[in-house]
Amino acid sequence: MFAARRTFAGIAQTRAFSASARDLSKVTILGAAGGIGQPLSLLCKLNPRVTDLALYDIRLAPGVAADVSHINTKSKVTGYDPTPSGLAAALKGAEIVLIPAGVPRKPGMTRDDLFNTNASIVRDLAKAVAESAPDANILVISNPVNSTVPIVAEILKAKGVYNPKRLFGVTTLDVVRASRFVSEIKNTDPRDENITVVGGHSGVTIVPLFSQSSHPDLVGNADLLNRVQFGGDEVVKAKDGAGSATLSMAMAGARFAESLLKAAQGEKGVIEPTFVDSPLYKDQGIDFFASRVELGPNGVEKIHDVGKITAEEQTLLDACLGDLKKNIEKGVAFVAQNPGK
């Protein structure tokens, strides 16, 4: 492993990679003891690309770290106490910071109902990232993603360290769900189903583009569309008050982190739909949008546009943009009105 890493460093030099193609890949999870955080920690421990795993939470992170650290893979695992210095140490040198900290939904709630609690949690964690890991790729999982990502951006801007190429709202679960649900209808292997999902991460802002898949006949399938847009509600209802998707989300978050690490280590053509600072609808006042994004050593390499879609999909996109604009504005306004300490 170590030799392989040295070899990689050599290749990196000959290909003139930037300093961001690091020899060590430290991944930090903020909210590591939660329903998502624990299985996400497990999956990161199993990933040979991760060399250091730093686990932080306001409770139980050292315990989770002790547990995960017994797994016989090479990476070092450290749990940190919920103190400012613990948080700073967890973040220092991180290449990837995953943020699943915050409260989940209960039945009857929308993701936006989480805003009042999660906005300040994410704001304060973003400040810590700005101070201790300004060059990290930041992967925001905490809901409502359509608003929490703009909150992080505003904090990074205020701290003078905003790099739009390194901030990602994790929408991978929508893509994972879409491929799974399509495979159930078509009786195929979900791993072969590549469904692009654009927009944001809540209700009608989640827009699957079946016309671009190998099953264009699925455009107009109202049940399938509803399941993709409201898949999160399906889990919230089934868990009956005990939270929302955690295991599938951990898988989705680990997949996105793995894609970023692959791209950072020189792999080409790594593409994931993700919610980023995007030029696609800025002319309509919408600064963030999820579309297919090619990842590279510097984070965002290329943002693909939405491409050719049907009139029906355009109607879905129009509904998405209206909601998305409001969600983004809410995040930006929150930081302006509540800058915190």
Ligand X SMILES: O=C(O)C[C@H](O)C(=O)O
Ligand Y SMILES: NC(=O)c1ccc[n+]([C@@H]2O[C@H](COP(=O)([O-])OP(=O)(O)OC[C@H]3O[C@@H](n4cnc5c(N)ncnc54)[C@H](O)[C@@H]3O)[C@@H](O)[C@H]2O)c1
**Active-site residues: which are they?**
201
Residue 114 DSSP label: G
Task: Return the bridge partners of 104, or none.
Answer: none
Among the listed residues 245, 250, 257, 300, the single contact to ligand X using CB under 6 A:
245
CA angle 319, 148, 275 (to 5 degrees): 55
Give which of ligand X, ligand Y, none residue 101 binds (C-beta under 5 to 8 Å, depending on kind).
ligand Y
Residues comprising the chain, all counted: 341
The residue number whose beta carbon is nearest to ligand X equals 232
Residue carrying the six token digits 């090619």: 294
Q: Which is nearer to ligand Y, 211 or 248 (CB)?
A: 248
The three-state (H, E, C) secondary structure of 89-106, written as one string: HHHCCCCEEEECCCCCCC
**Residue 200, interface with ligand X (CB under 6 A)?**
no
Q: Which one of ligand X, ligand Y, none is in contact with 59 (Cβ closer than 5 to 8 A by kind)?
A: ligand Y
- Contact residue for ligand Y among 44, 119, 121, 251 (CB under 6 A): 121
Least distance (Å) between residue 14 CB and ligand Y: 38
For helices 231-239 and 172-186, give the axis angle rounded to 10 degrees: 90
Judged by CB under 6 A, the stretch of 211-219, 228-236, 273-281, 326-334 that binds ligand X is 228-236
Minimum Å distance from CB 105 to ligand X? Answer: 4
What's the N-to-C CA distance of the chain in angstroms?
Answer: 43
Nearer to ligand Y (CB atom), residue 12 or residue 129? 129
**Are the CB atoms for 55 and 64 separated by under 8 Å?**
yes
Is the Cβ of residue 103 or residue 333 nearer to ligand Y in the bound state? Answer: 103
| Partner from ligand X, ligand Y, none binding residue 166, C-beta < 5-8 Å depending on class | none
By beta carbon distance, the residue nearest ligand Y is: 34
Neighbours of 62 (CB within 10 A): 18
Token duo for residue 331: 């995040």
- The reply to whether 180 sits in an annotated binding site is no
Query: Does residue 68 interact with ligand Y by CB under 6 A?
Result: no
Sequence-distant (6+) residues with CB within 8 A of 63 are 33, 79
Q: Specify the residue, 31 or 199, whose C-beta has the smaller distance to ligand Y.
A: 31
Site map for ligand X, 136-175, x if CB under 6 A?
Answer: -------x-----------------------------x--
**Count of residues touching ligand Y (by CB under 6 A):** 33
Residue 199 interacts, among ligand X, ligand Y, none and using kind-specific CB cut-offs from 5 to 8 Å, with: none
HSE, side-chain direction, 13 A CA sphere, residue 37:
29
Out of 58, 88, 109, 332, point to the residue binding ligand Y (CB under 6 A): 58
Tokens of 92: 């220092």
- Rounded to the nearest 10 degrees, the angle between the axes of helix 115-132 and helix 145-158 is 40
Collect all residues with Cβ–Cβ distance below 8 Å to 199 and sequence separation of at least 6.
Answer: 205, 206, 207, 289, 290, 317, 320, 321, 324
Q: Which residues bind ligand Y (CB under 6 A)?
A: 30-31, 33-37, 56-59, 100-105, 114, 118, 121, 125, 141-143, 145, 170, 173, 201, 243-246, 249
Q: Which residue positions form the known binding site for NAD(+)? A: 31-37, 57, 118, 141-143, 249
